[in-house]
Structure 1
Amino acid sequence: MEKHYDVVIIGAGPAGLSAGLYAARAKMKTVILEKEKPGGQIATTDEVANYPGSVEHATGPSLVDRMVEQCDEFGAERVKDAVKSIDFTGDLKVIETESGDVYKAKAVIVATGASPKKIGCPGEAELTGKGVSYCATCDADFFTDLEVFCVGGGDTAVEEAMYLTKFARKVTLVHRRDEFRAAKSIIEKVKKNEKVEYLMDSVVEEIYGDGILEGIKVKNVKTGEVTDIPAPEDDGTMGVFVFIGYDPLTSLFKGILDMDQTGYLIADENMKTNIPGVFAAGDVRQKILRQVVTATADGAIAAVVAEKYIEEKFHA
């Protein structure tokens, strides 16, 4: 079935939902396409403490629920369907979904997000949000005076390890190689921090706990020796922060939209991509900070600029 809209938004994380709210509020015919449940990464976060204005003890799902309600209140349509193919060559952008529907839109906002790379070990998925985290800025405060392990060896891992020392009693960097890939200046800085310890040539083999993280098993890649590291008895728990990179969800747009070498979409401060009428918002685009607050800002900007584009292109 062929359907016509002013704006099609791909992705229903905070960026997509914010774009939907602003687009629908501007009286544009708007649809948000999302292959899974709304919310993106924030939907798996137990507590949201750093989103300005969020109520005390706000959870990721509760924040997403309110965003969805606002979109619905202003008339944005939401469809659970995966995008199969795109054609951005004409004035009307064409999007075909897995169900066979074809959407034609005057503007498209890409808000497909990015997903943190996982260790892939037993227990990781079950204890995500219960001791396992992929965002120090989001969750460091929950580990005040506890011990945490930071997995990774690049700039982000080392920088986040230093940030975690402001909260944690001890931070141990776990890296599969015998030296870090981070910049020398960052390494020099972290080595001066007495709170940081190191497990080199090591990988996390298992994360375990009954409802909360209670310990990890670490394997030395050179000797094959596996060490069990339980949480200190007095603490009862500890943290594992994983910083081994992100995967932007942009494979659909390769060769069509400009990307950096890691696959993030390149967009300017007005969320404009290299194709007129196509905008990028949220974690999917190249940026310095990936948080709910920056995603929602991106979505709002993308919708407002899309409205101006449509007005000038189709109603001038």
Structure 2
Amino acid sequence: MAVLVIAEHDNAALKPSTLNAITAGAQLGEVHVLVAGSGASAVADAAKQVAGVAKVLVADDAAYKNGLAEAVTPLVVGLAANYDAVVATATAVGKNLLPRVAALLDVQQISEAVKIVDKDTFVRPIYAGNALATVKSSDAKKVITVRATAFDVAAATGGSAAVETVSATPAADKTSYVGAELSKSERPELTAARIVISGGRGMQNGENFHMLEEIADKLGGAVGASRAAVDAGFVPNDYQVGQTGKIVAPDLYIAVGISGAIQHLAGMKDSKVIVAINKDEEAPIFQIADYGLVADLFKAVPELKAELDKA
């Protein structure tokens, strides 16, 4: 069984989530990685070194520079004839691209798989992650997005895949790239961070998030937030962790002033160690926390920072 994994990148570096997709793809068969971009030779070089990758397909064209799903879809659909499965990570890129591919191939997409049982059977979360459904697909060709946190990261070195150039496939000229507003931070990207400290409605305002940022900087972690905090305007949307935000599974997740609504838990409950700080001892977050502190966050967080300053 041959599997085509879609590489996510910025034309300069391979995104870490692609390594999770490669691990998932390897459970289905021989993995080939598609790098569609413009001037993305560095990405192809990185992809060919990933352990478990047999071949890297490079489509280098100006049309793919900005990774528009409308431009990349015809390319993937054309290549899909040679593969039994197409796999991407369930990020914004994968969620935008693969439904289009599945529609044109006339197959049902399998979304956010967290386990691959066999070539036809998959496990995926439903009801905001409160239940797992085992689904079996009879489609001859599978189109699958996988939840990165459910699969190990493939080794970035150790491979020696062949590199093959593929021709660009013309797309309907109905979409154009206008621009992007990107937030930049010296902290690690939220979904790739080993430590995440998140704040909720209990933070009261955006200024108070500076307390969490100071701790994140001390620990080399990222800052997240609940939807309530984002909707209140405390922090930008890209901080949001949860069912409608980002799915994270760091080594350590610190939830500060977060009650623990199921939508938030769906995005972080797979974290290895969960620490909760909340003044409400009945808060649902304590039901999944490994360590819980019932305290006023405005007292507990400064004390935590003071201890870290001593370390």
Q: Same fold (TM over 0.5)?
A: no
> Which structure exhibits the higher relative contact order, with contacts defined as CA atoms closer than 8 Å and separated by 6 or more residues?
1
TM-score range (shorter-chain normalised) is: under 0.3
